[in-house]
Structure 1
Amino acid sequence: MALQPDYRYGAAPGWGRASAADAASIDAGLRSYMLRVYNWMASGLLLTAIVAYAIASIPEVAQLFYTVVRTPRGIGVAPTILGWAAVFAPLAFVLVLSFGINRMNKTTAQALFWLFAAAMGASMSNIFVVYTKTSVASTFFATSGMFAAMSLWGYTTKSDLTRMGSIMMMGLFGIIIATLINIWLASPALAFAVSIIGVVVFCGLTAYDTQRIKADYVEYSYAEGTDEAAKRSVMDALGLYLNFVNLFQLMLQFMGVRNQD
C-alpha cells in the first residue's frame, strides 16, 4: 500500500476531514492495536524459545529431530526425517495463514499462530546444540536491540518507506536464490555475503512492515473487538515475528560461538 511521503497522523488517508476528537480516538486505537501486535509477536517468540530449548535439553527427544556430528568448525547436526519435516512445517503454517486468513475465524487464526510458533521452535532447537548458550543469549539481545530500533524508526519516521520495502523484497528473493545456489557451491565467501545482505534486508523490512501496519490501521480503522481486528493483529504479528527470527538467525552467523565438544 502506498503511503504519503509526509506521513503523519493528520495527513494519513481518510483523516483530512477528521475532527480532533476523531484523530485522538484513532490515535488511541492505533497504540492499543500496535501493543496487541507486539504482544502476539513476543508471545510467539517466547513459545518458540521454550519449545526449542525443551527439545534440545532432552536427548531422547532431540535425537528424533537430528543427530550430532563433529565438523572442523565444531559441533553440527544432521536432521532426521522428522527434523526435515520440522524445518518445512513453519512454511506450511505461513502459507495456510496467508492464503486462508479470510476464511478463518479469529480462534482458528490464533490457534494456527501458536502451532506455527511451536513448529518454529522445533525447527530451531538445534541452535542450542550447535552454539553455546551464552552466544545464543547475547545474539538474541543484540537482535532485540536492532529490531526495536528499526521498528521504532518505522513507526515514527515521516518518510515514505514503500520504495525501500520494494527494494528489500527484491533483496530477499536474491538472498533465497543465492542460498539455494550455495547449497551446491558451499562457498564460505558467498555465505558470508548472504548473511551481511540478509541483516540489512530484514532490518529494512522491519521498519517497512511497522510503517505498513500503522498505515493500514489508520486507513481501515479496525474496530476493537471484531474478528477482523483480531485476525489482522495475528497476521501483522506474524510478519514482524518472521523478520525477527530471520534477523536472529543471520546474526548468529557473526556472533554465534560453536560448541566444540
Structure 2
Amino acid sequence: MDERRVVNDDAGVASFFSKVYTKMGLGLGLTGLLSYLLAVPFQQQYLTFIGQHQILAWIFLFLPFIMTFMVSGRRAQQNTSFGNLMFYLFSASFAFQISLVLMVYPTINIFAAFVVTAVIFVSMSLVGRFGHKDLSKAGSIAYTALWGVIVMSLVNLFIASSGLQWLINYAILAIFIVMTAFDTQKLKQVYLTAGGTGDGLIAENALVTQGALMLYLDFLNLFLVILRIFGGVSRD
C-alpha cells in the first residue's frame, strides 16, 4: 500500500499557496508587460506584422490553448524545469491576444476591471482555502455550465445578439467566480493528500505549477469578462 502524506499544519499549506500565488503573479506580470509593449510602444509594428502574416495571426490566437496542454502534460509534471519553462511560455503567449484587447479599452476601464477582478479573486480564493463547505458539486455545475456558454458563444457568432452576449458575459462571470473558489479548495485537498513516496518536493513543485496554471486562467477569464461588462471604445 502506498504511503499517503497528510499535511495538517497551517504552515505547510500557507507555504504551498504562497508558491502558487507567486508563480501565478509572475505569469500574470509577464503577460501584462508583454501585452503593454505590444499594445502601446510597438502597436503599429505589431498590427502591421499580423496584418501581413494572417497565418501567424491564427497561430497566435490558438497558441495559448496549445501551451495549456504543454504545461499540464506528463513531461511538465515529471520535470520541474520543463514545467516552469512551459508555464512562462504559456503566460507570454497570451500577450498576443491580450494586447489586442487592451487596444480597444480606455485605461480607466482596464484599471477598474483589474481592481474588481483582484477583489473578487482574492475573496473567492479565501473562501476556497478557508471555507469548510464542500464545493465539489458547485464546481461540477460550473464546469458543465462553461461548456454550455461556449456553445452559446459559438451560436452568437452567427446571430450577433447583443442581449445574448450580455447573458453570456454574466454567465461567464458567475462561472469563474465559482471556479476560483472550487479550484482553490481542490488545490488544497490535492496538496493535503499528495503522495509521500520520497519525491515529495518534486511532486509539490509540479503541483505548484499546475495550481498556478488553474488560478491564472481563473483570474484572466474574470478580468476579460469584467472588462467586457464595463465596456470600451476604440483608442484610434
TM above 0.5 = yes
**Amino acid corresponding to residue 125 of structure 1 in structure 2:** S
Query: Is 1:242 the counterpart of 2:217 in the alignment?
Result: yes
- Cα–Cα, structure 1 residues 43 and 102, in superposed 2: closer, same or farther, change >3 Å? closer
Unpaired segments ≥5 residues, structure 2 = none
Structure 1 segment 8-23 matched on structure 2, within 5 A:
23=8
Match of 1:231 in 2: 206
**Shift of residue 111 of structure 1?**
0.1
C-alpha separation between the residues in 2 aligned to 1:64 and 1:225?
Answer: 46
Pairing 1:107–2:81 present: yes
Q: Give me the whole-angstrom Cα distance separating, in 2, the residues matched to 1:203 and 1:42.
A: 18
Following superposition, the deviation at residue 161 of structure 1 comes to: 0.3
User: Greater Rg, structure 1 or structure 2?
Assistant: 1
Query: 3-state SS of the aligned residue for 1:226?
Result: helix
Specify the code of the residue in structure 1 equivalent to 2:15. Answer: S
**1:257 is paired with a residue of what secondary structure?**
coil
Which residue of structure 2 aligns with residue 18 of structure 1?
A: none
TM-score (norm 1): 0.82
What's the secondary structure of 1:23's corresponding residue?
A: coil
Cross-structure match for 1:128: 102
Alignment check: 8 A CA contact 1:165 1:205 kept: yes
Q: Confirm or deny that 1:161 pairs with 2:135.
A: yes
Higher helix proportion (structure 1 or 2): 2
- Whole-angstrom distance in 2 between the partners of 1:95 and 1:181: 26
User: Separation in 2 of the partners of 1:251 and 1:230?
Assistant: 32
What does residue 65 of structure 1 align with?
50
Residue 228 of structure 1 and its aligned partner are, at CA, apart by 1.4
Structure scoring higher RCO (CA < 8 A, sep ≥ 6) equals 2
Partner residue of 2:150? 176
Q: Deviations over 1:43-77 (max 9, x none)?
A: 1000000011111121213332359xxxxxxxxxx
CA contact (8 A) 1:139 1:256 kept: no
**Aligned 1:1-261 pairs, distance under 5 A:** 23-24=8-9, 27-57=10-40, 58=42, 59-65=44-50, 80-101=54-75, 104-220=78-194, 226-259=201-234, 261=236
Stretches of structure 1 lacking an aligned partner (at least 5 in a row): 1-12, 16-21, 68-78
Contact 2:77-2:206 at 8 Å conserved across structures: no
What percent of counterpart residues are identical?
30
Taking only aligned residues, the RMSD between alpha carbons, in angstroms, comes to 2.2
